[in-house]
Each structure stands twice: as structure tokens, then as C-alpha cells.
Amino acid sequence: MTSQLSQHLPPTHTRRPRGPTLPAHRLPDLPGRVAIPGQSRGAPGIPPALERFNTAPAEDAERALLTCLRSLRWALRLSGHRPYPDLPSLLAASDEATYDLSSKELAEALAAEPRPTLPDDTYSAAHTALTAAHTAYETKFGHVFVICLDDVPEEETLDRVLENIRSRLANDPEDERVVAAEQLRRLARGRLIDILGARGTARPATDGPAPGKRDKAPPR
């Protein structure tokens, strides 16, 4: 019997208008949902969604992974290292693969990211302030501002985004590249948890780098 993870996959991000400084992304467009067929034999101790991911055809696994982080090398690496015995092993592999991305690969992943999503009832003055902040950030650093908002209450989203974007505007480009790479790591980790339907069962990502990676910056 063929199973699918499609019900867990997030919709393709809708981009907000951004400045002309952002590089074009060359990865193919993905549909809103990506099915991962596979034979699940109910391996002891392995959640059904992870078992389907482990047994899915490589192309389907890679397409699903690209909805988490738009880096082909990252997706190929995670797909190629299957099967994973449990979710923490998959998340650890995701962290490691993210840290190993080159500067060019990080730039490609950043180019595919949307601006942080705000609550629907955000007032117009806040949108004006954020648009100005985003424009200043993108002009300075050449890519969209990214931040992981997992575990941030919805009512605090606006303040958290505005506070962080203004603070990070003070960074120099090299320091900000390290911060942005860390936020991408956390975003990819959270999206993996989401597509496997494991939200609330995995240890949340922290604000700092993963253990053993604290001093490792993205390659130049």
C-alpha cells in the first residue's frame, strides 16, 4: 500500500516584493505539496512518517526536502544518508549538512526564502516600518532577512521581527552571514519536523548553534 507525507508538507512560500539586490534562484519550482510514496513496514521504534521518508524514492525525498531548505546539496545529502533510525538522527544530519554549505550554497538558499510572515491583523503603520527595515537590510546585505520564529507567540511576532531586523542591521556582512546561516539551520530543522508531523515531539532548536558547532562559521 502506498503512503504519502503530502498532508504534512507546508505550502510553497509566497514571496513578498523585495529589492533588486537579491540573486536569482535557479532551482526548479516546486508544487505546493510534494508526495512521498513509499512502502511502510512498520519498523519497530520508527514513526510511520519517518519510515515513509526512509523508503521513498530518492527523487520524492529530495523534492520534499527542498520545501524545507532550497539547497540541492543539502537535500541530496540528507536523502542519500537514509535510512534514519529516529527523528533526532535526521535533525542532527540536517544541522551538520547546513553547517557544511558553501557561501554560494547559502546565498542560493537565502535567495529562496520569504520575508517572515506576520499576523493577518498587523496594523498598517507596522507594515510601513517593517517594509523600510526590510529594504534597508536587503540593500546592505543583498538577501532577505530570515529569522526562525518557532515557539514565538503570534502576538509577539511583530515586535520580535522588528527588534531583530533593526539589531542585525548593525552587523557587518561577515557577522550577519553567520547569523543568517544559523537562522536557516533552525528554519530547516523546524520544517523537517513539520513535514514529518512531529511538532511537539522533538527537542526545539535553541537560539545558539548546535553542540560542537559553536565556533564553526560558514565557509568563505
Instruction: Identify the segments of the chain with pLDDT beneath 50.
Output: 1-26, 28, 31-42, 202-220
What pLDDT does residue 219 have? 46
131 CB neighbour count, 10 Å cutoff: 13
CA atoms of 218 and 183, how far apart (whole Å)? 12
pTM here? Answer: 0.73
Residue 212: what pLDDT? Answer: 38
Q: What is the pLDDT of residue 20?
A: 35
- What nine digits make up the cell of 19? 529589492
Burial of 20 (0-12, 13-18, 19+ CB in 10 A): exposed
- 211 burial level (CB within 10 Å; 0-12, 13-18, 19+): exposed
> Using CA of residue 30, residue 119, residue 185, residue 48, what is the dihedral sign?
negative
Identify the CA nearest to 147 among candidates 172, 181, 120, 121: 181
pLDDT of amino acid 72: 96
Instruction: Of 187, 181, 179, give the one whose Cα is nearest residue 204.
Output: 187
pLDDT attached to residue 201: 53
Q: Pseudo-torsion of CA 154, 151, 13, 83, nearest 10°?
A: -160
Place of cell 529516529: 86
The predicted pLDDT at position 218 comes to: 45
pLDDT score, position 45 = 64
Architecture of domain 1-13+38-220 in this structure: Orthogonal Bundle (1.10)
